């Protein structure tokens, strides 16, 4: 091993191939790289980490590193990269913990929202905008109920879960709530930009096959006021 | 000490006429709240990894902005990966440029290492072989980084536990050849130098005697851990006397535009971090030259 090409290939095996056994101090590098990533994943995904055994946690993360090594230079995005691999591939823990990718993504979203940029899309006066520091997750498992004491897949009802996370503009605290498909559609519509109230509510109704009658429009107006009180949406002045 | 009270240190080469920023501390998530509260006068500047703030907002970003109002910022990257065979990550460098430009930095720095291969990120710093092939590979990349950022660039010596491949030259020669051929600055991490001198059994004095001192733009001082049969660079322990001694030797030989106490892990309470900043300043003063002289606080 002497050329740069050979040395790069060797470093890749040392750090990402669990089937390769590094010699001497190369093993130190393997441990440093792996433990550095484990620390980040553990701190951002404490619920997932708390459920898995040490052996399971290391095995699944070794698999992620071998098959989909991290690409982002921003280390706090590592859990997102791991979650996307686990969500989209059959992995070594798929049978025992089929919700693992969704749970890790949900845990990551809290950090993503905490660090989200603050520039808001300011629209014409009177239109509604969404707080830019937000995330909307859509899951097939009730990840917000998964815990160390409740994680058996048989005890978890599968379905369609919409979880909305946002950073309060004043307290800067990250909050979350489960929303129904209609509210999720409202958020998705606002994600594409500010909207006038009537047009917004009509577009949302049509997207989910509802008739935008006066009762619906009145309820929609109340909903927007309630969301504004929570710091989720704001009316452009 | 106010920035305005500082004198300007400049190097002989046109690339290294950098403003002297004094003695500072690495800004970390763990110390930013305390720094915002106290804004300690012991610190002249703060060192920041721009990657940590790309596309961010919220509390940590606001703390950074408040501190950037109070102190000059030294930007130090961790993801340039000058050693990688893959072309430089232009998107990353553009992000760095866009992020740091509003602060009018005098230079940018990163490590002489691999931080990724084939685009896969290690989130750690892995050593290059000390070979002519490696020098010829990294030199044009460093020049390219300087062009893209339109800033002087300083490259940092890293700590290491193995020499990948067969070394064709000692570490000092490898580092010197890179900085001279690339015409860039040197970020000398005196802890990394000490760790490597113990792990590979070379003489610190010889290393320093062969280094182009006039290219030092930036110094890191840090701690390490004694393992069974080698030193592990943790940047997470107290700085020991032999490392302080190296700082003193370097300060006695050249001006030091910035000296940063760098703690990456296991951060002690802020007063302990500040005690190390004061220690660095005292050493510079005792050296009677270097940054302390440039700052007007020399003996």
Nearest C-alpha neighbor of B256 from the set B182, B157, B158, B185: B185
CB nearest to B161's CB, from A1, A29, A78:
A29
CB-based contact B164 A7, cutoff 8 Å: yes
Contacts by residues A95-99 (CB-CB < 8 Å, ≥ 24 positions apart): A96/A56, A97/A51, A97/A52, A97/A56, A97/A151, A97/A153, A98/A141, A98/A153, A99/A139, A99/A141, A99/A143, A99/A146, A99/A151, A99/A153, A99/A156
pLDDT of residue B20: 86
Return mean pLDDT, chain A.
95
Residue A54 is predicted with a pLDDT of 96
Cβ contacts of A39 on chain B, cutoff 8 Å: none
Beta strands in chain A (DSSP E): 128-130, 134-139, 161-167, 174-179, 233-235
Nearest to B221 by CA among B248, B186, B184, B255: B248
Identify which of B213, B77, B212, B211 has the alpha carbon closest to the alpha carbon of residue B145. B77
Tell me what pLDDT residue B1 has: 35
What was the pLDDT predicted at B105?
Answer: 94
Domain boundaries, chain B: 3-294
Whether the pLDDT of residue B7 is over 80: the answer is: no
CATH superfamily of the B3-294 domain: Divalent-metal-dependent TIM barrel enzymes (3.20.20.150)
pLDDT in tens, B38-54: 999 999 999 999 999 99
- Helix or strand run (H / E) with residue A109: helix A100-114
| Domain range A118-237, CATH architecture | Alpha-Beta Complex (3.90)
Minimum-distance CB partner of A11 among B58, B126, B161: B126
Q: Is the pLDDT of residue A57 over 80?
A: yes
pTM recorded for the entire structure: 0.91
What is the layout of strands, in order, in the sheet containing A174-179? A134-139, A161-167, A174-179
| Confidence class for position B15, pLDDT limits 50, 70, 90 | low
The shortest C-alpha distance from A215 to chain B (Å) reads 38
* pLDDT confidence of residue B18: 73
A124-129 mean pLDDT: 95
- Confidence bin at B243 (pLDDT 50/70/90): very high
Measure the N-to-C terminal CA separation of chain B; round to a whole number of Å.
16
Question: Shortest Cα distance from A152 to chain B (angstroms)?
Answer: 34
Q: Is A160 helix (H, G, I), strand (E, B) or coil?
A: coil
Contact A47, A142 (CB under 8 A): no
In whole angstroms, give the CA distance from residue A205 to residue B280.
Answer: 65
Report which of B180, B186, B168 is spatially closest to residue B128, judged by C-alpha positions. B168
Task: Note the Cα A33 to chain centre separation in Å.
Answer: 24
**Are the CB atoms for A11 and B128 separated by under 8 Å?**
no
Residues of chain B found within 8 Å of residue A6, distances taken between Cβ atoms: 165
- Hey, of A24, A25, A69, A74, which one would you mutate to test binding to chain B, going by the most B CBs within 10 A of its CB? A74
DSSP 8-state class, residue B53:
G
Residue of B nearest to A77 (CA): B52
For the beta carbon of residue B144, count every other beta carbon within 10 angstroms.
17
Domain ranges of chain A: 1-115, 118-237
- And the tokens for B87? 């072309």
* Backbone dihedral angles phi then psi of residue A131, each to the nearest 5 degrees: -50, 120
Residues A24-29 have a mean pLDDT of 96
HSE toward the beta carbon, residue B217, CA cutoff 13 A: 30
Asked whether the predicted pLDDT for residue A121 surpasses 70, the reply is: no
pLDDT recorded at residue A120? 61
Mean pLDDT, to the nearest integer, of B177-189?
97
pLDDT greater than 50 at residue A147: yes
For chain B, counts of helices (H) and of strands (E): 10, 12
CB distance B57–A8 less than 8 Å?
Answer: no
Instruction: Give the pLDDT score at A175.
Output: 98
Distances (CA, A) of B236 to A108, B72, B219, B224: 26, 24, 17, 6
- Listed residue (B88, B86, B177, B162) closest to B131, CA to CA: B177
Q: Find the mean pLDDT for residues A15-21.
A: 93
Say which range, A157-161, A180-184, B212-216, B253-257, has the weakest mean pLDDT. Answer: B253-257
So what's the ipTM on this one?
0.90
* Interface contact B120-A10, CB threshold 8 A: no
* pLDDT above 50 (res A16): yes
Per-residue pLDDT tens for B66-83? Answer: 999 999 999 999 999 999
């Amino acid at each position: 091993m002497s050329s740069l090409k050979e040395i790069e290939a060797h470093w890749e095996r040392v750090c990402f191939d669990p089937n390769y056994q590094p010699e001497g101090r190369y093993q130190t590098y393997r441990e440093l790289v792996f433990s550095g990533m484990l620390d980040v994943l553990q701190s951002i995904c404490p619920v997932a980490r708390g459920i898995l055994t040490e052996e399971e946690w290391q095995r699944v993360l070794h698999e992620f590193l071998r098959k989909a090594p991290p690409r982002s230079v921003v280390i706090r995005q590592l859990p997102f990269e791991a979650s996307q691999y686990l969500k989209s591939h059959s992995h070594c823990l798929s049978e025992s913990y089929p919700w693992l990718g969704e749970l890790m993504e949900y845990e990551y979203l809290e950090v993503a929202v905490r660090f989200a940029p603050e520039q808001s899309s300011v629209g014409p006066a009177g239109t509604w905008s969404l707080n830019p520091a937000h995330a909307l997750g859509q899951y097939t498992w009730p990840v917000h109920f998964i815990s160390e004491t409740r994680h058996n897949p048989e005890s978890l009802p599968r379905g369609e879960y919409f979880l909305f996370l946002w950073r309060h503009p004043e307290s800067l605290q990250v909050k979350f709530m489960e929303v129904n498909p209609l509210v999720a559609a409202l958020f998705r519509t606002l994600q594409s930009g500010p909207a006038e109230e009537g047009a917004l509510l009509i577009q949302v109704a049509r997207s989910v096959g509802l008739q935008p009658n006066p009762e619906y429009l009145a309820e929609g107006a109340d909903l927007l006021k309630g969301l504004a009180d929570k710091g989720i949406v704001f009316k452009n002045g | 000490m106010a920035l305005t009270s500082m004198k300007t240190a400049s190097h002989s080469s046109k690339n290294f006429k950098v403003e002297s920023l004094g003695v500072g501390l690495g800004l970390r998530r763990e110390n930013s709240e305390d720094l915002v509260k106290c804004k300690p006068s012991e610190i002249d500047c703060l060192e920041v990894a721009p990657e940590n703030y790309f596309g961010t907002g919220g509390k940590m970003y606001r703390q950074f902005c408040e501190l950037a109002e109070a102190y000059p910022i030294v930007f130090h990257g961790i993801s340039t990966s000058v050693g990688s065979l893959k072309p430089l990550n232009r998107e990353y460098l553009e992000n760095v440029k866009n992020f740091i430009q509003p602060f009018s930095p005098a230079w940018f720095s990163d490590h002489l290492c691999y931080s990724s291969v084939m685009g896969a990120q290690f989130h750690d710093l892995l050593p290059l072989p000390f070979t002519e092939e490696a020098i010829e590979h990294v030199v044009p990349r460093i020049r390219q980084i300087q062009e893209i950022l339109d800033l002087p660039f300083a490259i940092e010596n890293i700590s290491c536990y193995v020499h990948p491949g067969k070394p064709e030259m000692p570490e000092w020669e490898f580092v010197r050849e890179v900085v001279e051929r690339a015409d860039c600055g040197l970020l000398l991490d005196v802890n990394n130098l000490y760790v490597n001198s113990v792990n590979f059994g070379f003489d610190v004095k010889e290393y320093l005697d062969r280094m182009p001192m006039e290219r030092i733009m930036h110094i890191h001082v840090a701690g390490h851990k004694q393992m069974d049969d080698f030193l592990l660079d943790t940047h997470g322990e107290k700085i020991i006397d032999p490392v302080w001694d190296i700082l003193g030797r370097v300060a006695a030989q050249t001006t030091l535009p910035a000296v940063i106490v760098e703690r990456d892990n296991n951060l002690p309470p802020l007063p302990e971090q500040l005690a190390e900043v004061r220690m660095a300043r005292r050493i510079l003063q005792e050296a009677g030259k270097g940054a302390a002289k440039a700052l007007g606080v020399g003996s």
